[in-house]
Structures are given as C-alpha cells and as structure tokens.
Structure 1
Amino acid sequence: MSYAGRIILAAAAAVGLVGAAMAQDGERARARDLGAAPGVLPTGLLNAITDVEGVRVGHVTLTEGETIRTGVTAVLPHGGDLYMDKVPAAVAVGNGFGKLMGVTQIRELGEIETPVILTNTLSVPAGAEGVIGWTLDQEGHEGIVSVNAVVGETNDSRLNDIRARAVTPDHVREAIETAAAGPVAEGAVGAGTGTVAFGWKGGIGTSSRALPASLGGYTVGVLVQSNFGGVLSIDGVKAGEALGQYYLKEQLDSDRADGSIMIVVATDAPLDDRNLERLAHRALAGLARTGASMTNGSGDYVIAFSTAEPVRRTPARRQGVESYAKLGNDRVSPLFQAVIEATEEAILNSLFMAESVTGYDSAAREARHIEAIPLDKVRALIEARNGQAKTEDE
C-alpha cells in the first residue's frame, strides 16, 4: 500500500476513535490551532489580510427571523481617499459563473477606486448603490460624475431567502464606515453568513504570509468568501473522503460542488497591474489545493491590489508621465508562493471558524440546516497524518 493510502486509512481510523473532545458547535478554531499549517512561509502577526498595512475590513451580518442569513463585507485598500489615490489592481477568473461588478474597468485601467464589497448574488445592485453613494459623499468629491464600484458575490440561497434582498445600501455604507485594521472576524459573518463550502458551513476566512527581508520583506494577505464544493483536502489530508462528504459521492446531489468563491488579495509589494494579474492567477492554485472542483455553476474570482505608495495612481501621476519603482519580474516568484499558501489557509479558516446555521432554502422554500465541519474529527485526521509522517521519517 502506498504511503498516501496508509495515511488515509490511519486518519480514518483515528476519526472513529476520537471522543467528544470538541463539541461540533463548541468553540471554533483556526487551521493552525488544529495543526494544519499549509506551506513553508511564516504568517504575518495576525495571519490576516490586515497584516498588509493600511488594509481595513468591515462586516455587517444580517440574521433576521428564520429566513434571512446574509450580509456585507467591505475591504478597503487604505485609509485615505481611495478615489483620488487609486491602487493598481487586477482580476483573475477561474470559472466565470458570477456577477462581479466593475471588472471591465479594472481590466482596462488596472486600478481600483472604491472599497471592494462582497455580498450575495441578488444584492450586487444594493452593493453598488451603497459604495457609489458613500464615494460621492466624501469631502472633495463634489465634482465626481463616474464611479467604478467593485462588488463581488456568492449565492447564499441555500441558507438565505435571497429573493427578499435584505441587504440595503445603508448596510453597505455601514460595512465601509466600520471597517478597521486588526483582527478580522471569520466564519458565518458578513458576506459569509449564509454560505456553504464542501457541504459544510462556509464563510469568511483570512490568512497572510510575510516574506523574509532577503526576499523583500513584503506581506501578502488574503480574504475569502467561501461558497463552493469539491473534495476537501486539508493541508494535504484527504478529509472529504475520510469524513464521507464530497462531490460525486453516490448519495450526494450532483450539484453539491456548485457555488462560488470570492478571493481578495492585498500586498504591500510595489506591483503594477500586470504582475498583480499574475499574482491573482496564483491564488487559484491555493483554491485548487483545498480540493475545489470549479464546476460549471461556480464563480471563482480573484481581485488583487497593491497598497504600496510608489505605485498608487495619484492625480499627479495619472495626469503626467508615470515614473515609479516597481518590482521586477524576477522577484515576484516568492509572492506567488505566498499567495498560494495564504489562499489555501484562508479557505480552511473560513470553514473551521464557521458555526452550524439553520436558515431558509430559497429554491426548496423550506427551512434548511447546514452543519459546521466537525473539528474533533478534523483534528484527529491532522494528528493521524502528522503522527504517521513522523513514523515514516523514523
């Protein structure tokens, strides 16, 4: 039997032997608390997108009655005037079944001029109205007549009455105005309130990687809104198979893997929009590492931006001949590794930090309950793998 096969058998056996050390809906934990630490690079201080200096995140969570389970998440590249000091940006698309507003102007001009808003599919118009109104109301913007609102979405209709369109422009403005640096709430919060991933409760997750000084000392941070399916892999452990829940398993619906993911990537490395697009494409490799199937009905999007002051599109730079320092092609590979690792871990954090949710299935028009992934079994799988690997080394 192969080494990988022995790992899976040992891990599956360990799951069966685990007691009730951690209640399924007890205290949630991040990936590293369970022994899963994807990759080789160190994290930033908070292991969050806000490790990139200046980046702020705000959530508005809507849980109303028995049917509304949705919300808004806002990501601000910096705390200054985003419209005047635009940041270089790029978009990568894995599978394009989605409604990402603002994408064509990002691709044409290579920049972002508003907060990035995440919400549910049918609330994209409300997201745009909220961020446009907020932008127009900022001091000094009295003469603005065009705003490229950036609004991404996933479809939370498995747990949310999405047709009610509970998100309002005021909720979007609240998410922007309350956005802050520091620790980022994860799991069933904000735009992740009603999402589902790999058949378990999904949500918001974040992670970061910090390059050593010898590689530039730059930071890459990732935030995800997970709402997709596949065959879950946790830091190389075939968890979906061991836990008996995965896409195309005989007793599961064939559309189990449909859904979407929004991936927001921030870095303080001075990248232009061309290399940011290359960085965004590498985030999809981190998505693949988790076992995503990227099916026909999945919208898999990455928005990447740089916060570095030298590459910002200030009014003076936009109106003249641009001359600025940017990272050369031969120095970006460590950033590619960083975004792959941070994306993988952010997705795991979105799963592990989410609690079970009972909501409303909009298609079936009935109540629906989605369990959180059982962390006691996850811990056992990881410990079995780590223990087996140690035995093999000896």
Structure 2
Amino acid sequence: MGLSASAHGLTIGTLPTGPLGSITDVPGIHVGHTTLSDGDIRSGVTAIVPTQLDERRHTLPAAVAVGNGHGKLVGSTQVDELGTLETAILLTSTLSVHRVADALLTHELTRPGREQVVTLNPLVGETNDAYLSDIRTRPVRERHVLDALASARPGPVDEGCVGAGTGTCALGFKGGIGTASRVAREGARGWTVGALVQSNFGGTLRIEGVRMPTAELLEGIAPSPAETSGVADAEDPAAAAQATEDQYRQGNSCMIVVATDAPVDARQLGRVARRAIVAMDRVGADFAHGSGDYAITFSTSTEAPAMPDPELNPVFAATMEAVEEALVSSLVHAVTTTGYRGHTAYALPLDRVLERLSASGRLPRA
C-alpha cells in the first residue's frame, strides 16, 4: 500500500483530510481487491463494502450521476428510481461485468436475513482494460469476486495497479485505483467524505492547474512513434510531439464512488454525484465519446431529517477535492506495466511532476 498523494508532495486543495486519506475514513466502509496479473491478463475486482448493510439495515440512500453513458453500469436504473443502495459496490473490467454481478448476487443471497429475498439489485461498474489485458477471455470468475469481498477491510487501501485498476490507463499514463478523503464542516459540525476511483480515461493531465503533457513528461522514458517506426521526426518536432501525446492517450471511462456520513438524502446525493463528475475536469479529462464516466454516491448516516440544502456547500467542496486527489493518487501509485500484445503503459514520473509544480510556484523550491 502506498502513501497518500499529499505524502508524495502533491497537495490538492485546501480542506483537511481524514486520518488515512482514503474512503475507509468514512466509518464502516471496507475495501478489498482481487488482482489478476499473469501473461496477457491485467485485470481484477475491487469491492467497496458498506458494513452498515446488514440484517437490520437493508438499504442506504444513494444516487448515480452519468457524465457520459458509454458504459455498462449494472444496477443503476433502480438506484435512480428508488434512491437506494442494496449491495456492496464492485468494480471490474468491461466484459467481465455481468459475471461479477452474478457472483455478487450469489454472495448477497447467502447473507443472514436474506433467506427469503426474491429481488435484489447488485451494483457493478467497469472500465475497459483491453489495451493491457486480453479482455475477450473474460478472466474474472466467481471465486475472484468472492475473494475481493472476503478481503474487504477497514484501514489503508491499496492503490495503483491493483484490483479493477490493474489494467487501466488514464491521461496518457498508467492509471488504476485511487482514493482520498476530506472533512466537510458546517459550523461546529463535521462529516467525512471519502472517494475511490477506477481511472481509465483520456485527456491531458493537470495538477493544481499545471499541465503535464505525456509527450514531455515521458521524454527519454517511453519511446516516441518516431523511435518505434524508424521515421525521423526532426523535420516536424511539433507534429512528432503531438503524435507521442496521442499514442499514450490510451484508456477510456472512469468509475467514481463517493461515501459520506453526512445526513443527506438520495436527491441531495444526486447533487453530490454531479460534483464528483466535475472533478474529472480539474485533472484534465477530455470527456471523449467513448468514455463512460459515472459517479455513485451513498450515505451511511442514520440521522433524520436530511440537512438543509444551503448547508451542502462544504460537502460539495469536500467531494470535488477528494475525487480530484483520488484521481491523481491513482496515477501516483501506478507502476509501468507491460501486458497484452506487449503494450506498455508508463508510470507518471513523480520527480518531473514535482519539478513542474515547483517551477510554476505550486510547490516551495528546494
């Protein structure tokens, strides 16, 4: 498990973080992974488990926001209709999503208190890991899902090339799983907002407003199209740089999960979810045609009634900062990965990122 993005010198926003800087700072939230990394396979499962869902409490208020619907999010329409979450949330690879949903049903139907259940809504999201993994083999099996659920724990969360982030790419670099948290305050009251992301989308990375073009950050690390094709690029260096940028824009889609203990209802969680999608813009997402971008939000609070809408501003701010940091953290913790057909996704070179931030006045100079 890695340090938070802020521990690596990347400070995102101004709000205080939770003690772990992860979605598990929200009490009762557990996370588990199954990682599949062998030969042509770079895939897996990530489970976000609200332990509040037990034999006494069968639903939590929840919402889904769609930035772009080019995805296969199983179970979203019932969340929209009823405003409730009934199961753990699982993330995986695009062509494995239905197997994962079936395995999640198997798990849930055997839990205490569900012996007579005849309808249940599993919630499973995905992104496409075909660049680094032989996706058509659909490598995820029931045992991998059950292992991810069984391994779910509180405490620090493994990030980067783990679970559902094993084969993902984002913003021209190796993507993965990222997490972060923020404390939202309204007067004397405080709530925790935690985010976990599966990053796999295109664009040009920005951190604290500073552009991090892939071609420039990976110069001398990753081969350019000119090097791999044997064609000289000296006559048109600008075109060569753009070609390199395009080469490493592999990846599409993003899953965002936001948990909070703030007393908010399903309608308000929909407002929170839309802010979570907005946070993708802060890191440079291009929101391309093929990018299925979704945010799932839920609350574990038992307070009633819900907080007044004018008091939501701290929750909105905490959500956007937590998601922004989680997205950056997914890159910070990923490592260079070679997978299917020899395709390689290169890790974000943190030293070069810090140099750019320092040169732009975003970090104190050494």
| TM-score, length of structure 1 as denominator length | 0.83
Out of 153, 158, 165, the residue aligned to residue 180 of structure 1 is 153
* Aligned AA (2:300): T
Question: Which runs of 5 or more residues in structure 1 are unaligned?
Answer: 1-26, 311-323, 361-365
**Separation in 2, partners of 1:215, 1:257:** 45
Query: Greater CA deviation, 167-176 or 189-198?
Result: 167-176
Task: Tell me the equivalent position of 2:225.
Answer: none
Answering whether residue 337 of structure 2 is matched by residue 357 of structure 1, we say yes
1:326 aligns with 2:306: yes
Tell me if structure 2 keeps the 8 A contact 1:84–1:113: no
Residue in 1 aligned with 2:16?
Answer: 42
Choose which of 356, 359, 362 in structure 2 pairs with 1:384: 359
Q: In structure 2, what residue type is equivalent to 1:38?
A: I
Counterpart for residue 104 of structure 2: 131
- For 1:387 and 1:298, how far apart are their aligned partners in 2? 30
Which deviates further from its counterpart, 143-152 or 371-380? Answer: 371-380
1:33 aligns with 2:7: yes
Q: Specify the alignment match of 1:58 in structure 2.
A: 32
Query: How well do the aligned residues superpose, as a CA RMSD in angstroms?
Result: 2.2
Q: Which residue of 1 aligns with 2:209?
A: 236
* 1:306 aligned partner: 299
In the alignment, structure 1 residue 153 sits paired with structure 2 residue 118: no
Q: Is the 8 A contact 2:75 2:124 kept in 1?
A: yes
- Corresponding position of 1:226: 199
User: How far off is 1:255 after superposition?
Assistant: 9.2
Which amino acid counterpart does residue 265 of structure 2 have in structure 1? D
How far 1:383 sits from its partner (Å)?
2.1
- Where does 1:339-378 land on structure 2 (aligned, <5 Å)? 339-360=319-340, 366-378=341-353
Cα separation, partners in 2 of 1:202 and 1:56, compared to 1, 3 Å: same
4+ residue segments displaced more than 6 Å: 387-390
| TM-score of the superposed pair, with normalisation by structure 2 | 0.89
SS for the counterpart of 1:90 is: strand
Mapped to 2, the partners of 1:197 and 1:104 lie a distance apart of: 27
- For residues 54-78 of structure 1, what are the alpha-carbon distances to aligned partners after superposition, in whole Å with 9 as ceiling and x for unaligned? 11101000112x2011000000122
The reply to whether residue 276 of structure 1 matches residue 269 of structure 2 is yes
CA distance in 2, matches of 1:332, 1:270: 10
- Paired with 1:68 and 1:389, the residues of 2 have a C-alpha distance of 41
| Structure 2 equivalent of residue 293 of structure 1 | 286
Task: Name 1:169's counterpart in structure 2.
Answer: 142
Counterpart AA for 1:270? P
* Gap change, CA 1:241 and 1:82, over 3 Å in 2: farther
- C-alpha distance in structure 2 between counterparts of 1:138 and 1:345, whole Å: 35
Write the distance in 2 (CA, Å) between the matches of 1:331 and 1:274.
Answer: 14
Displacement of 1:264 in angstroms is 0.1
3-state SS in 1 of match to 2:16: coil
The 1:29/1:137 distance shift into structure 2, 3 A limit, reads closer
CA deviations on 1:340-366 (whole Å, 9 max, x unpaired) are 101110000000000111100xxxxx2
Contact 2:55/2:114 (<8 A) preserved: no
Q: Provide the C-alpha distance between the structure 1 equivalents of 2:50 and 2:140, rounded to a whole number of angstroms.
A: 23
The reply to whether residue 71 of structure 1 matches residue 44 of structure 2 is: yes
Residue range with higher mean Cα deviation, 232-241 or 137-146 = 232-241
Counterpart Cα distance in 1 of 2:12 and 2:113: 45
Deviation sequence 1:38-59 (CA, Å, 0-9, x none): 1111000001000011111010
Whether the 8 Å CA contact 2:168–2:251 is kept in 1: the answer is: no
Alpha-carbon distance in structure 2 between the residues aligned to 1:386 and 1:256: 27
Matching residue's letter, 2:344 = H
Q: Summarize deviations over 1:266-314 as a string: whole Å, max 9, x none.
A: 000011000000000001121110000010000000000001023xxxx
Distance 2:55 2:286 in 1: 35
For 2:265 and 2:119, the matched residues in 1 are separated by 23
2-structure distance, mates of 1:389, 1:156 = 37
Kept after mapping to 2: 8 A contact 1:82/1:115: no
How many corresponding residue pairs?
Answer: 344
Distance 2:257 2:363 in 1: 35
- Preserved contact between residue 28 and residue 352 of structure 1 (Cα < 8 Å): no
Local SS of the residue matching 1:163 = helix
In structure 2, the CA distance between the partners of 1:270 and 1:61, relative to structure 1 (3 Å rule), is same
**Contact conserved, 2:172 with 2:214, CA < 8 A, in 1?**
no
SS of 1:218's equivalent?
strand
Secondary structure at the counterpart of residue 217 of structure 1 = strand
Q: What SS does the aligned partner of 1:186 have? A: coil
Say if 1:59 and 1:71, in contact at 8 Å, map to a contact too. Answer: yes
